[in-house]
Structure 1
Amino acid sequence: MAQQLSATTADPARLIWQLCQSLEFFADHKPLLLKQLTQGNRTSSYQVQTDRGHYAVRHYGPAVLGVCRQQELRCQHAAAAAGLAPAPLCLNNHQRVLVTEFLADAAPPSVIYIRQHLPALAETLAVLHQLPVQTAMLDPWLYLQQLKKQLEPHWTAHAEKIWQPLITAARDLQYFQADPGLCHMDLHAQNLLLWQQKLWLIDFEYCQLADVVFDLVALIVQFELSEAEQQQLVASYRAARAASGAGCSTHLVEKLALAKVVYAGFCWLWYWQEELDNQDPRYKQAAAHCYQLLLRLIEGG
């Protein structure tokens, strides 16, 4: 529930407004409304309304593997300029705060909506992937090794059994020529917003140059697309790239199966680490789900 800021405001609301007041961006703003949108040990987000406007405020926890906030800012700036994302307005690394535009009345799209609008989503990705932002190129094999290293004290025989085909898939994927593009790398329902009959992207913390196949398999896995829907997504994506004058890899379809395995591995190891860090049963359940998905993909199911 939205909270009016007053002398009796609950501690979380007062603390986040105090944090906002420490930023020059909010100098001379008068607070009117603060509403918590998400809460987590690593990131919490808020809707902040002042006498000057509506804002989304994200408060980050400590450093996260693979995340550079300046890079996140540059990627979201480019996406906003292309009409794909809310504009970032202020980043303060010391206070670990990012302020962006707030899209009033926006909401995550339903699975049904996504499945009915795959061509539009493919066009959005095609634009994102061609944005001229320079970052390091994701090395899937190396990233899996980094995720595993964090988990070594908790590694099990079951994990080792599935690790070998996972790391092999990452190695085999490297045999194909990469199709680099600026990828979101965290596409799921909560990082998409439907606003004014258009899909918008949010949360660019993992955005970087990578093989574009990873954004496509993220949608396939997260929204459990059927074979026919997968074909529609890939065909629409190829058409959008061709229409812009930038073709894509001729091996895109061949890479999908390997990329699904690698992506599921990313998710499994990430959720496992989050479970250990946060002792949250939701992460445990998500890690177990990703593990089972990984098993099915490896077994060809």
Structure 2
Amino acid sequence: MQSSEKQKVARQAQAILGLHIDGVQSLEKGLSNQNYLLRCADRRYVFKRYPRTLPKSSLLAQDSLAKFGITSHLLGYDVDKQVAIFDYVPADDNPPNEITDQLLSRLLLIHQFDSHHTTLLDWRTPLLSACARTKGHMWAEQLIDKLSSLPADLAFCHNDLVLDNLLLSDSGVQFIDFEYACLNDLYFDLAALVISFELDLSAGERLLTRYYRLKCKQLPEHALAKLASFCCVYLILSIAWYEQQGAKQKAAPLYPWLERWRLNAAQSLC
């Protein structure tokens, strides 16, 4: 990163925090945002610059969730400059390698959080657009029709549960990068976990059983069919997004998983 860019980040951070910034380091993770590690005396912070509108409501919800010890606090933001600063979460270099009950319990806290967020994630429009480019428009409509026929499970969702957004800290699993968080069907988050941890259909069913046990609710009969359909939705959207970002190396491994979950979902569409 050029010195002028470091100076710009330091100036913006100082204006928000009111503290002198001793150092700025670019963080490589993250395709949609510019991320930097700030050093200030004996503390560290994460500075994020958003390419479009700053997702204020989602970030304020993240700050509220931080009181449960499952994510980092929002320390300040500038809507006009589209930047925000968060506490730095010391964590292992590697993400979690399994979906523990702690991870699911913390995800459940997110799903049960009353954020007063009224925005509903529109996954249908980009799904139709992505499938139209691959002549799969009819399949997209089938997925939408199938999911529309099943009971909705609306909740406040993270909506971007890739492994890079799950950290292992001394206090347990931490969720980061809440910029897409809003109302959605909670099966979207569960599907993201299934894909991120490369679970097959049987493992996906066990995940559902554990999640509903933690909710103290009975597993619905339609749960597995709904999960299979949302896995297809999540994979199609992920592949399209990675390819639009020029990250074909991240999209390529998802195609075999899409075919597997397409077969799983096809059984439920019959």
Segments of structure 2 that go 5 or more residues without pairing to the other structure are: 266-270
Q: CA deviation at 1:92?
A: 1.0
1:109 matched residue in structure 2: 95
Whether 1:177 aligns to 2:151 is yes
Which position in structure 1 is the counterpart of 2:59? 73
Q: 2:243 aligns with which of 272, 275, 300?
A: 272
Query: Which residue of 250, 253, 259 corresponds with 1:289?
Result: 253
C-alpha distance in structure 1 between counterparts of 2:83 and 2:206, whole Å: 39
In structure 2, do the counterparts of structure 1 residues 297 and 39 end up closer, same or farther at CA, with 3 Å as the change threshold? closer
Deviation per residue, 1:235-292 (Å, 9 max, x gap):
22111111xxx777553223111111111111122122222xxxxxxx1233333344
Q: Whole-Å Cα distance in 2 between the matches of residues 42 and 226 of structure 1?
A: 28
Query: Paired residue for 1:15, among 8, 15, 24?
Result: 8
Aligned-pair CA distance for 1:42: 3.7
- Pick one of 104, 108, 131 that aligns with 1:122: 104
The TM-score normalised by the length of structure 1 is 0.78
Q: Is the contact made by 2:26 and 2:36 (CA closer than 8 Å) also made in structure 1?
A: yes
Is this contact kept in 1: 2:13–2:21, CA < 8 A?
no
2:114 is aligned to 132
Give the structure 2 partner of residue 49 of structure 1: 39
Q: Percent identity?
A: 25
What are the residue-to-residue correspondences of 1:219-298 with 2, within 5 Å?
219-242=193-216, 251-275=222-246, 283-298=247-262
Task: Indicate if the aligned counterparts of 1:85 and 1:201 stay in contact, CA closer than 8 A.
Answer: yes
**Equivalences, count:** 264
One-letter code of the match for 1:131? F
Q: Does 1:91 align with 2:56?
A: no
CA contact (8 A) 1:42 1:62 kept: no
In structure 1, stretches of 5+ residues that fail to align are: 4-8, 276-282
Among candidates 21, 26, 31, match of residue 17 of structure 2? 26
Secondary structure of 1:235's counterpart equals helix
Query: CA offset at residue 124 of structure 1?
Result: 1.1
Question: Given the superposition, is the C-alpha separation of residues 296 and 106 from structure 1 closer, same or farther in structure 2, using an over 3 Å criterion?
Answer: closer
Letter in 2 for 1:297: W
- Of residues 135-144 and 75-84 in structure 1, the stretch that sits farther from structure 2 once superposed is 135-144
Which residue of 2 is the match for residue 190 of structure 1? 164
